Structure 1
């Protein structure tokens, strides 16, 4: 966009800035504040004009895009094409704009909605899981069994030679955890403390190391210690750790069921939302502003640094852009599509749903009302929740016309995250 600015506007702004600077400039041979204006112009005129131009171009650009009803995406670049004192300023602003998103037929989106009930057996299984999470290990004088923890030394050999990363000493390993390659843990079952054994295994074809993919190797293993897992009793002390003070089993089971119902609700909602968003992304193909993608990549970089505790000591820009590009493009595309849906349907955050969302979050804390008050007195936090509610409203609107098929399944299947191949097929 080419923008013109009257000469008197620029020249007057330069004159005013020079006169303001004149009051504070100190030069040898002149009293403070008494430097002649012509001398100030001679020494500082060019620098002051450049400073004024930056402000004038930015202000004029904003006025121009508002007049032309344009929506810039990202910051513009300015280049002055005519910049002489006494003449009108002319500059070219180069910038990206938000694309016009033409919404497709949303009724073609297909969504599979999990339907599950929580049975008494599911509750009992969850309690066993909680017991396992708080289990202890005690040393035993017997052969190792599945579920035991062993302390081992091992060395991996390929064609008789040790390979990098294939050896360790004093490593604890829970048998049956699946943390090692197939065959490794099974080979230790039946060994006692002090025993040594060679185990033949083959690395999976999808293993991350090119040198070891699909390769047959031998592990020399020595068992140092065998420990059996002991589970805690479901007694008053155990229940108290989960917030049940009365020590009653029925109360504890009810609390476990409530948490499972919350988890099930969130899992179903998340899977439905993910499929809906996948459908929206698939239906809408249009060019994305590079500036928005760059902003999203930078945001994701910072998020990863914070997640892994890098802080200020790690330069987020060192993380390669390609690591985030696909996800960033998807995020930007969906953001623009959702924005178009909001504008077309004039959707605003539903106050009742926002209130319910805040109360649901607060219910997980000891002093829920304090958290509720804090959210409503924190505009930024409240805005985040309103944004999440708006997304849910968009999902609901899409689902009203989409092809939704309910699929009955167990609780475990319903709460299990979608597998990558499922997401790929949908996308």
Structure 2
């Protein structure tokens, strides 16, 4: 095997590789000799099939398989001997004309392999990083507010005589029509709606006021312009309503008996659970904020050349999502006050940031032997499966048989563990903030993922 470097520019590498035809021929002879004792061909005793006959029958297919194996082995070996780490699998350029000559044994195996290597950089002392952890102090009034909402959602309803009013619950059947024709998802034989809950299309609930059990009415409304179903967004529709029952809401006393009705021992236990839920919600937002701070600081510190193909791959994934979102929203770049060129440049920077931070976090994980256990991946897989009720078996089999998909579950776990490692070394100080400050969204949450 002869390897000649033809390009070494920045992170880009290109090698010309030549493998003598005799090596491929030797492997083919060995392959056919092994095949002779296994294959059964009519007219020949086992192990007595002439090599020339085997070559006529299986030679071309076997040569193609051996050629792929040799290219893969040689590519791996060439990179290892150079002590380089490719950012992605090297691209192989083997001309079609050359491939035909190689398969017929008339030429050496000559191909070009091109790849980007991973950049080298020093890991900083994470003790020099200072992070402010935003913390919200939970007031008892906030817990009481949440419990009041729970009580409101669990009000008892009783049948009433007379017309529906604000706060009443209406049990009904309805059939939605677009241009006089029923549309998918617009019908329900046992619908129910609390007037004033704002759960239906704007203008729908208000037209239920005054209706009584047995009343029929056709309601005219328009879907919002930003409605997710594009074929309905902004469109005027009608709903044929038949009122089955009108119910009025009863009063709820928030006490131990109310808590027991929810399956809890006492009101104090309910308050404890609600506090825990609020703490969990704020904790998730706090985690998001300090992770963003950390990634911002790492992004400020690290500036190095990036593997172009890795950035291109990341950008392609980001851009496909941008285009899909724009199409689903029925908007153009001009509607967003920009142009496609400006938007592409913006998301190119986001892709570069993600690649750069991904390389930094990966290097930190490698140097400190941070691993994701099989148990952690299994938990992530089961969590993912539970998101598809009724399709659990199919989803499970998909991930189990697809290494790339399974790796997509492992990657975020690995990233979080590396972030935890860095935060343990960094200087983290608490800062009390308001609920509004904590919940305010950054322009670009996340970074490397």
TM over 0.5: same fold?
yes
Q: Which residue of structure 2 lines up, in the alignment, with residue 409 of structure 1?
A: 434
The equivalences for 1:55-134 within 5 A come to 55-68=69-82, 69-74=84-89, 76-77=91-92, 79=94, 81=98, 83=102, 85=105, 88-93=108-113, 96-97=115-116, 100=119, 114-134=134-154
- Asked if the contact 2:218/2:238 (under 8 Å) is kept, the reply is yes
C-alpha RMSD over aligned residues: 5.2
Which secondary structure does the structure 1 equivalent of 2:272 belong to?
helix
Q: Which residue of structure 2 lines up, in the alignment, with residue 2 of structure 1?
A: 16
Q: Which residue of structure 2 lines up, in the alignment, with residue 20 of structure 1?
A: 34
Q: Which residue of structure 2 lines up, in the alignment, with residue 51 of structure 1?
A: 65
How many positions carry a matched residue from both structures? 359
For normalisation by structure 2, the TM-score amounts to 0.60
Judged with a 3 Å threshold, the aligned counterparts in structure 2 of structure 1 residues 184 and 349 are, in CA distance, closer, same or farther, namely farther
Judged with a 3 Å threshold, the aligned counterparts in structure 2 of structure 1 residues 400 and 28 are, in CA distance, closer, same or farther, namely same
Partners of 1:252 and 1:54 in 2: how far apart? 65
Q: Which residue of structure 1 lines up, in the alignment, with residue 393 of structure 2?
A: none
1:330: Cα distance to partner?
6.0
1:62: Cα distance to partner?
0.5
Mean Cα deviation higher: 212-221 or 261-270: 212-221
Q: Deviation digits for residues 116-157 of structure 1, max 9, x if unmatched?
A: 211111122222333445555432224434443212455778
Q: Which residue of structure 1 lines up, in the alignment, with residue 400 of structure 2?
A: none
Judged with a 3 Å threshold, the aligned counterparts in structure 2 of structure 1 residues 335 and 137 are, in CA distance, closer, same or farther, namely farther
Q: Is structure 2 residue 416 aligned with structure 1 residue 391? A: no
Partners of 2:169 and 2:413 in 1: how far apart? 44
Q: Which residue of structure 2 lines up, in the alignment, with residue 33 of structure 1?
A: 47
Q: Equivalent of 1:151, from 171, 177, 181? A: 171
In structure 1, list runs of 5 or more residues that go unmatched.
301-325, 362-379
1:389: Cα distance to partner?
1.8
Which secondary structure does the structure 1 equivalent of 2:88 belong to?
strand
Q: Equivalent of 2:245, from 225, 228, 239? A: 225
1:57: Cα distance to partner?
1.0
- Asked if the contact 2:159/2:246 (under 8 Å) is kept, the reply is yes
Which secondary structure does the structure 2 equivalent of 1:224 belong to?
strand
1:8: Cα distance to partner?
4.2
Which secondary structure does the structure 2 equivalent of 1:206 belong to?
coil
In structure 2, list runs of 5 or more residues that go unmatched.
1-14, 322-345, 381-406
Q: Which residue of structure 1 lines up, in the alignment, with residue 288 of structure 2?
A: 270
For normalisation by structure 1, the TM-score amounts to 0.62
Partners of 2:237 and 2:208 in 1: how far apart? 16
1:55: Cα distance to partner?
1.1
Q: Which residue of structure 1 lines up, in the alignment, with residue 161 of structure 2?
A: 141
Judged with a 3 Å threshold, the aligned counterparts in structure 2 of structure 1 residues 278 and 137 are, in CA distance, closer, same or farther, namely farther
Partners of 1:260 and 1:144 in 2: how far apart? 35
- Asked if the contact 2:19/2:109 (under 8 Å) is kept, the reply is yes
Q: Which residue of structure 2 lines up, in the alignment, with residue 364 of structure 1?
A: none
Judged with a 3 Å threshold, the aligned counterparts in structure 2 of structure 1 residues 220 and 2 are, in CA distance, closer, same or farther, namely same
Q: Equivalent of 1:186, from 198, 206, 210? A: 206
Mean Cα deviation higher: 47-56 or 264-273: 264-273
- Asked if the contact 1:7/1:85 (under 8 Å) is kept, the reply is yes
Which secondary structure does the structure 2 equivalent of 1:17 belong to?
helix
1:21: Cα distance to partner?
1.0
Partners of 1:296 and 1:252 in 2: how far apart? 44
Partners of 2:27 and 2:315 in 1: how far apart? 35
Q: Deviation digits for residues 366-414 of structure 1, max 9, x if unmatched?
A: xxxxxxxxxxxxxx999975542213445788x869xx9967323xx47
Q: Deviation digits for residues 155-185 of structure 1, max 9, x if unmatched?
A: 7789xx6465496464322223322232321
Mean Cα deviation higher: 203-212 or 40-49: 203-212
